[in-house]
Amino acid sequence: VHPNAAFRFPDAEQALAFVAAVGFAHLFGVTPAGPRVAHMPLLVMPSGALRFHLANSNALSTHLDGAVVVASVGGPGSYISPNWYGDPAGNVPTWNYRTVEIEGVVTALGWDDLLALLDRSAATFEPRVLQDWTMAKMDPARRDAMMRAITAYELVPSAIRTTDKASQNRSDAEARSVVAALEAIGDANGAAEVRRVRRW
């Protein structure tokens, strides 16, 4: 995460809300063959734990139960040109971005928890694409065969590290210039992020 404490989420609750909204993570772990990264959808449970599933053939899968890992969740970022501050000789390029790193121990879950996770995942993500698919629509034999090829896991956070960088260290005039420049190149999301932290 960024070393400047000015670029932080206000609290763990807002950080986990961001994780839930993104719903996708990079999971970093260590195997006897070296470090590996898994890419997976995930859910934030009411307890604050993360639940996800991986294919049993994933390089990390057989090494996760009981392991300490880091899950990294990021959103869109924006390149910021020094020209936008009005003093290109005294500034350098940077990026605005949001990310949450969650460290903790992973526990492998059983069949019932896997089915519940898949049901909950469909209920979470299908509405985002205006669809209504559910696990109940699957042929039971086909469902069970596919479920045998994956495992559900839970990650209980022991540490949450965050970055929420949106030009907070710049003056209002510089931030307005950044917003105008981002809008001019079609980066409406980047402009909105600067406005969000300024409450404009």
Write the pLDDT tens digit of every residue in 168-197.
Answer: 999 999 999 999 999 999 999 999 999 999
- Buried (b) or exposed (e) across 114-149, using 16+ Cβ within 10 A? beebbeebbeeeeeeeeeeeebeeeeeeeeeeebee
Please name the residue that has the structure tokens 């294919």: 55
Radius of gyration of the chain (CA): 20
Cα–Cα distances (Å) from 41 to 62, 104, 119, 126, 128, in that order, read: 18, 17, 13, 13, 14
**What CATH code would you report for 12-168?**
2.30.110.10
pLDDT in tens, 46-65: 999 999 999 999 999 999 99
The yes-or-no verdict on residue 76 having pLDDT over 90 is no
Please give the model's pTM, rounded to 2 decimal places.
0.93
Domain ranges of the chain: 12-168
97 has a pLDDT exceeding 90: yes
**Three-state SS across the chain?**
CCCCCCCCCCCHHHHHHHHHHHCEEEEEEEECCEEEEEEEEEEECCCCCEEEEEECCCCCHHHCCCCEEEEEEECCCEEECHHHHCCHHHCCCEEEEEEEEEEEEEEECCHHHHHHHHHHHHHHHHHHHCCCCCHHHCCHHHHHHHHCCEEEEEEEEEEEEEEEECCCCCCHHHHHHHHHHHHHCCCHHHHHHHHHHHCC
Q: Span 139-149, mean pLDDT?
A: 98
